[in-house]
Structure 1
Amino acid sequence: MNISLPEDEVKRLCLLQGVSISAIEPLQSGGTRLVCTSGSGAEEMRLRLRGHLIDGHVLRHRFYRPPATHERP
């Protein structure tokens, strides 16, 4: 789903609801793309974030790679 909130806020809200994230990325057109690991988690977040859902086409980065969370030795 595409949400008109920053990525950190979406992660925080998923954590509060106990919903695990399969994939998350910032949208080139603004907002965040969220993929949950379960259908029930996705439905929970759709209900919680219904006022922030983006309808229609959004611009995504062609080859988005999340930033590394730690350095390798």
Structure 2
Amino acid sequence: MSRAIHVQATPDMIEAICRKHAYRISTVEPLDSGGSRVVMLDPRDAEAFRVLMKGKLIAGTVARSSSHIARQLPPSTRWR
């Protein structure tokens, strides 16, 4: 199961909920299409968060901000 979750809530709301329930967050980013993307450190935390937020989950594709940092190696260091 994925640790990334798209939810119809602000990053501040997500952080408060995660603090209250002791869910460990890797990152939270606002989405251009509305809502936020949260990545949990533990898949169990992600599943518990999904259950808690089941009425606010965003299904399908979302538009992420172009300012997010993709975790990819620079072209000069990739295998050819």
Structure 1-normalised TM-score? Answer: 0.84
User: Aligned-pair distance for 1:29?
Assistant: 0.7
RMSD: 1.0
Which stretches of structure 1, 4 residues or more, deviate above 6 A after TM superposition?
none
Q: Which has the larger radius of gyration?
A: 2
Instruction: Say whether residues 1:23 and 2:19 are aligned partners.
Output: no
User: Aligned-pair distance for 1:63?
Assistant: 2.2
Unaligned runs of 5+ in 2: 70-80
Give the length in aligned residue pairs: 65
Matches of 1:28 and 1:59, distance apart in 2:
5
Unaligned runs of 5+ in 1: 66-73
Among candidates 14, 33, 41, match of residue 37 of structure 1 = 41
